[in-house]
Amino acid sequence: MSRGLDSAVHLVQLLISQVVRSGGTAIDATAGRGHDTLFLAGLVGSAGRVFAFDTQADALQSTGRLLEEAGLADRVTLIEDSHEEMKKHVTGPADAVIFNLGYLPGGDHLYVTKPDPTVSALHTALDLLRPGGRIGMVIYTGHPGGAEECEAVERAASSLDGALFSVIKIVVLNRSAGAPVIIVIEKAGV
């Protein structure tokens, strides 16, 4: 896996690592194959908790295996539910929330994240976030519906109150128009 500036996942993890506390709570809103879940489990430490969401059982099974192999499964709760339903499972506050939007790598491309549920989940994540916490989003735009989802997230993020949230967008300028877009949101306060 690339760890440089051309890796959207790496950049989000770098920015998220600055705010996740040992003993804290973190959320992987889209567990996928478990790489962000594993990353967050390492950050929260043995006293912390990670909640990982996915609607596909295959994704959660992959994530569970990865966590077992790393010896970190005991600090993660795997939840087969939409990221829209975070508040049903997490009371907060969360240090960080990571979204990797698109489809499950190696999975059925008919199952993709969609604009309306993603924007709803983003607002839920904002409510759960502690002051000083961050949301990191990697938005894949190269698949059908990806650009529309990115536009919806950008509209929602850009409309946030600037006194309460700082929002940045990162794009790799010398890549294709279908390259991932990064959005990071930080809640004001410490």
| Per-domain boundaries in the chain | 8-187
Does residue 138 carry a pLDDT above 90? yes
Element (H, E) at 61: helix 57-70
Q: Walk across the sheet containing 49-54 and list its strands.
A: 76-80, 49-54, 25-28, 94-101, 129-139, 181-187, 165-170
Separation between Cα atoms, residue 5 and residue 44, nearest integer Å: 25
Strands of the chain, DSSP E: 25-28, 49-54, 76-80, 94-101, 129-139, 165-170, 181-187
The CATH classification number of 8-187 equals: 3.40.50.150
- Between CA 95 and CA 102, with CA 98 as vertex, the angle to 5 degrees is 165
Instruction: For residue 125, give the amino acid letter.
Output: A
Confidence band of 107 (pLDDT split at 50, 70, 90)? low
Does residue 178 carry a pLDDT above 90? no
Q: What is the mean pLDDT of residues 179-190?
A: 91
Q: What is the mean pLDDT of residues 19-30?
A: 97
Residue 21 carries which DSSP code? P
Tens digits of residue pLDDT in 75-106: 999 999 999 999 999 987 999 999 998 765 66
Confidence band of 54 (pLDDT split at 50, 70, 90)? very high
Confidence band of 134 (pLDDT split at 50, 70, 90)? very high
pTM recorded for the entire structure: 0.94
Closest listed residue to residue 86, CA positions, set 48, 122, 39, 44: 122
- Cα dist from 89 to 51, 57, 81, 177, whole Å: 8, 17, 9, 36
Does residue 74 carry a pLDDT above 90? yes
pLDDT at 105: 64
Looking at the chain, the whole-number percentage of residues with pLDDT higher than 70 is 92
Q: What is the mean pLDDT of residues 149-153?
A: 91
Radius of gyration of the chain (CA): 15
